[in-house]
Amino acid sequence: MELSGSFSANVGKDKVVQLLSNPNEFSKCVPNVSEISVNGSNFDLRFKIDASKYTGKFLGASYLSNINVKFSGSIAYSPSDSTISISGGGSAVGVKFSINISLVLSGDNNITKADWKSDVNVGGFAKLFGESMMNQAMSENVDQIISCIKKRLEGSIP
Amino acid sequence: MSDAKIAVIGGGSTGSAIVHDLASRGLDVTLIERGTIGSGTSGRFHGLLHSGARYAVNDPKAAEESILDNEVISKIAPHCVEDTGGVFMALKGDDQSFADKFESACKHAGIPIEQIPTEKLLQEEPFISKDVSIAFSVPDKTINSFRFITSLLLTAKSEGAKIRLGNEVIGFDVEDKAVKGVKVKNNISGEIETLKFDLVINASGAWASKILSDYLNINSIKMVLSAGTMVVVNRRFAKRVVNRLRLPSDGDIVVPYFTESIIGTTSFIVDNPDNFEVDEDDFKFLLAEGAKLIPAIKEYGMSRYFAGVRPLIAADEDTGGGSRSISRDFKIFDHGVTDGVSGILTIVGGKLSTARLMGKQISDFICDKLGVKTQSNTDKIKLLWPDLSADNLKNLSKSLLVSESLLKDILFETESKTYGDIYSPVKDLLLSKELFS
Q: For residue B296, what pLDDT is reported?
A: 96
**pLDDT value of position B250:** 87
> How many residues are there in chain B?
437
- CA atoms of B9 and B11, how far apart (whole Å): 7
Whether B149 contacts B38, CB under 8 Å:
yes
Mean pLDDT of A53-62: 70
From the list B11, B427, B421, the residue with the least C-alpha distance to B204 is: B11
Distance between CA atoms of residues A157 and B341, nearest Å: 60
How much is the pLDDT for B364? 95
Distance CA A106, CA A30 (A): 24
- Give the mean pLDDT of chain B: 89
Task: Determine, for residues B312 and A59 on separate chains, whether the beta-carbon distance falls below 8 Å.
Answer: yes
Whether the pLDDT of residue B272 is over 60: the answer is: yes
pLDDT in tens, B122-167: 999 999 999 999 999 999 999 999 999 999 999 999 999 999 999 9
Q: What are phi and psi of A34, to 5 degrees?
A: -105, -25
Model pLDDT, residue B318: 53
Please report, in angstroms and rounded to a whole number, the separation of the first and last CA atoms in chain A. Answer: 31
In chain A, which residues have their Cβ closer than 8 Å to the Cβ of B269?
Answer: 93-95, 124, 128
A124 in B contact zone (CB under 8 Å): yes
Inter-CA distances, B209 with B212, B214, B219, B347, Å: 5, 8, 7, 10
pLDDT at B8 over 90: yes
Which of B41, B91, B223, B224 has the most A C-beta neighbours within 10 Å, making it the best mutation to test the interface with A? B224
Domain boundaries, chain A: 2-153
* Residue B370, pLDDT score: 92
For the cut 60, the answer to whether the pLDDT of residue B415 exceeds it is: no
A93 CA: distance to closest CA in chain B (Å)? 4
Domains of chain B and any CATH numbers: 5-41+146-222+315-370 (3.50.50.60), 48-143+224-311 (3.30.9.10), 390-436 (no CATH)
∠ CA B68-B386-B48, nearest 5°, is 35
- SS3 at position B78: helix
Q: Which stretch of B57-71, B188-202, B203-217, B423-437 has the lowest confidence by average pLDDT? A: B423-437
Type of residue numbered B169: V
For position B284, what pLDDT does the model report? 92
Model confidence at B256, in pLDDT bands (50, 70, 90)?
very high
On the question of pLDDT at A66 being above 80, the answer is: no
Strand ranges for B139-209 from DSSP E = 141-143, 162-165, 167-175, 178-186, 192-196, 199-202
Q: What pLDDT was estimated at residue B413? A: 55
Supply the mean pLDDT for chain A.
Answer: 84
User: How far is B358 from B377, CA to CA, in rounded Å?
Assistant: 13
Output phi, psi for B429, to 5 deg: -65, -45
Q: What HEC string does B319-352 produce?
A: CCCCEEECCCCEEEEEHHHHCCCECEEEEEECCH
Contacts of B359 (CB under 8 A, 6+ apart): B14, B16, B17, B18, B19, B20, B21, B378
Out of A48, A52, A58, the one facing B58 most closely (by C-beta) is: A52
* Percentage with pLDDT > 70 across chain A: 91
The 10s digit of each residue's pLDDT in A86-97 is: 899 998 888 888
Q: How close, in Å, is residue A63 to chain B by CA atoms?
A: 5
> pLDDT class for A21, splitting at 50, 70, 90?
confident
What CATH number does the domain located at A2-153 have? 3.30.530.20
Q: Say if A52 is an interface residue toward chain B (CB within 8 Å).
A: yes
